[in-house]
Structure 1
Amino acid sequence: MHTTTPSSLNRNTVSRIVVSTLKGISQVVLIENAMTGFVILIAILISSVSLAIISLLSALIGTVIGIGLRADTESVNRGLMGYNSVLTGMALTLFLTGGDRWIIALVGAAVAAIFSAAMNHIMKNTGLPSLTFPFIVLSWFFLLTSYRLTSFKISSALVPQDLTHWSLNIQGEINWLNGMMKGSGQIFFLDYSLSGILLYAAFFIAGWRYGLYAIIGNAAAIITAYFLGGEHSLISMGLYGYNAILTIIAVSIVFKEHQRYALLTGVIAACLTIPITASIDTWLLPYGLPALTMPFVLCSWLFLAARKMLPSL
């Protein structure tokens, strides 16, 4: 008779944690694939060692909290407890300063895991996924505390601006290739073309549709941004593409529900992220906050909710 030894149980537990942690990284782009998560981690590593460390630790924290608090086993195994933690940890590391920002970032990652579980429960009755909403709200709250609590020191790059003195700069050439390469990297705050290429490879590892749709969504977004008169520098940096990539994957692949025109509606949704991004950026300008992935969340919710009333959409 075969018996399970304590050592084999420990190995199984460690293996589960490792796989779930990598899936937590891949779930940032709505993919459940440990290898995709590993390639994404490498893409982050070649851009920034510190960000790679914080993303791995944040995903691990989210997974361990899910196991420790006895969250739904399927959610933990699929990495759904980790992806908001990953983004929160990375955002707080980047947008806060001071030596203690690492501690704050990891605490934020832990809170994000709990917030994700709460949001999933709240959103269950709506039939809509919580997506990255916990990460967005927590990051904004943590960054805004810097104006009232001295322990939090916001980066000088996030400067509140007066809308009455705001002027749009559309000068300069557009580097279209950079816009395509960096669009995927900006999902993880990476402004590095090689990282963007690796991220596309991570998409294709999960399936050719993920990779192809990511390219289509990014291309549709930067073309739309150009014709709508978006800032050339932002287009070249990929800042108009990353929300579109996430949106087309959500609308056309992950939550398509066998819709006949899933790709078409996904492209339309990707294009719609451009005016939504511009609007949210303007709304947040007086607070000096980044839009993060809020355009993706709002646009995806809009289309997924509309499908419940308009089945052919």
Structure 2
Amino acid sequence: MPLAEPEVVRRLESRQPSAYVLASLRGFGQVDLQPGLLTGVAILVALWVSGWQNGLFATLGTLIATATAYALAVERSGIASGLQGYAGCLTGIALVSSLGNHPATYVLTVFGAVMCTLLMAALGTLLKPYGLTPLTAPFCLVSGVMVVGAPSFSRVWHGDPASVASTTTGETGWTWTSLWHAFFNNISQVFLIDSWYVGLIMLVGLALAGLRVVLYAAAGSVLGIVAAWLLGAPTALIANGIYGYNAVLVAIALGAVFMANTPWNAAYALFGAAVSTGLTASLTSVFKTFGGHTFTWPFILTTWVVLAAVPLLPRLRRSG
């Protein structure tokens, strides 16, 4: 995830106690790897528009994770740019989507957000020698363990709430409506939400982060649709954004954040986005065997692999 510029961090920290609120707001944008305040606000608005439960649990997770980072004296530059809040945001949404709105879900969201901060530090230490960052791995690990283990505990599990993603496998045929719904749903499914208008608001937020960011997000969404269609994925799942959201994240990460802005890097970023689409299907089949969830693992694994390969590929170079 990108860090804020030093002067920006100093300016944020000079506005205590509002620094905590600003850091939390930036955490929402960091789910899409963007530290911009306006992007974070736009995404927060989109989350509340999608439903008060999504908005509430995303906010709770972000606030707790950010507060934990302050309490543990994590490096202030990372906190100020939202790097400690985004995993908690996704964890809150994942838990309420999987477990429903119950008292136990609030407790688990708080505990999960704290764990995300600890895992962020642990993974950051392990990955630093390789020039990699944790990305959304803390969220995937914490939420994955909690959701898989939930049915074993009667005070946590309350039946089988509506799934975040449709399990439809039939082919319904393409229409213009399903096509443009897929484009925007690929954006919203980054946050486990199936709603084209939420995706539209989030895309506007990404546009506020810069032209390069929104273009790669759009390109990743289109490529996710095309790659899934070429592979023969069910139309209904493509339209719901199930096969494209990881492509959106990979395209943003490689095209607009971690890689320099060159034609070779652009092609490499789009290649990675296409790979993540195929990987989504494979990992979904694996996780389904034990009741797990794919979440953003395809994005994480694809981004780690392609970034780790860059030092031995002379035509490609990292940003910075």
Same fold (TM over 0.5): yes
Corresponding residue for residue 40 of structure 1: 43
Change (3 A) 1:259 1:130: farther
The AA in structure 2 aligned to 1:173 is W
Provide the rounded CA distance (Å) in 2 between the counterparts of 1:157 and 1:284: 18
Does the 8 A contact of 1:95 with 1:155 survive in 2?
A: no
4+ residue segments displaced more than 6 Å: none
Q: Does the CA contact (< 8 Å) of 2:59 and 2:89 recur in 1?
A: yes
1:178 aligns with 2:181: yes
State the distance in 2 between where 1:262 and 1:115 align.
Answer: 30
Query: CA offset at residue 178 of structure 1?
Result: 0.5
Equivalent residue in structure 2 for 1:206, among 205, 209, 231? 209
Which residue of 2 is the match for residue 223 of structure 1?
A: 226
CA contact (8 A) 2:87 2:113 kept: yes
- Write the deviation string for residues 216-260 of structure 1: whole angstroms up to 9, x where unpaired: 110011011001100111111111111111001111111104555
Q: Which moved more, 1:53-62 or 1:128-137?
A: 53-62
Q: TM-score of the superposition, structure 2-length normalised?
A: 0.88
- Say if 1:178 and 1:308 are closer, same or farther in 2 by CA, change over 3 A: same
Residue 188 of structure 1 corresponds to 191
Structure 2 residue corresponding to 1:106, chosen from 92, 110, 129: 110
User: What's the counterpart of residue 14 of structure 1?
Assistant: 17
Counterpart of 1:169 in structure 2 is 170
Shift of 1:34: 1.2
Residue in structure 2 matched with residue 291 of structure 1 by the alignment: 294
What's the RMSD between the two structures over aligned residues? Answer: 2.0
Secondary structure (helix, strand or coil) at the match of 1:311 reads: coil
Q: Deviations over 1:139-192 (max 9, x none)?
A: 111112224333331762589xxxxxx995334435101000111011112211
**Contact kept in structure 1, 2:168 and 2:237, CA below 8 Å:** no
CA distance in 2, matches of 1:46, 1:158: 19
Q: Give the letter for the 1:297 counterpart.
A: I
Report matched runs for 1:1-313 at 5 Å. 12-97=15-100, 98-153=102-157, 156=160, 168-173=169-174, 175-257=178-260, 259-313=262-316
Distance in 1 between the 2:199 and 2:43 partners?
9
Gaps of 5+ in 1: 1-9, 160-165
State which structure, 1 or 2, has the greater radius of gyration over its C-alpha atoms: 1
Cα-to-partner distance string for 1:44-77 (whole Å, 9 max, x where unaligned): 1111112112112211111111111100111111
Gaps of 5+ in 2: 1-12
Q: Residue 61 of structure 1 aligns to a residue in which SS?
A: helix
248 and 167 in structure 1: CA distance in 2 versus 1, 3 angstrom threshold: closer
Residue identity opposite 1:110 in structure 2? V
Identify the range of structure 1 (149-158 vs 44-53) with the bigger mean alpha-carbon deviation. 149-158
Whether the 8 Å CA contact 2:84–2:117 is kept in 1: the answer is: yes
Deviations 1:83-113 (A, max 9, x none): 1111111111111134321221222112111
Letter in 1 for 2:110: L
Identity of aligned residues (%): 29
Deviates further, 63-72 or 97-106: 97-106
What is the aligned partner in structure 1 of residue 6 from structure 2? none
Q: d(CA) in 2 for partners of 1:50 and 1:260? A: 42
C-alpha contact 2:29 2:37 (8 A) present in aligned 1: yes
| 1:241 aligned partner, one-letter code | G
**Do the aligned residues in 1 keep the contact of 2:181 with 2:239 (CA within 8 Å)?**
yes
Please state whether the residue corresponding to 2:15 is helix, strand or coil. helix
Determine if contact 2:169/2:237 at 8 Å carries over to the other structure.
Answer: no
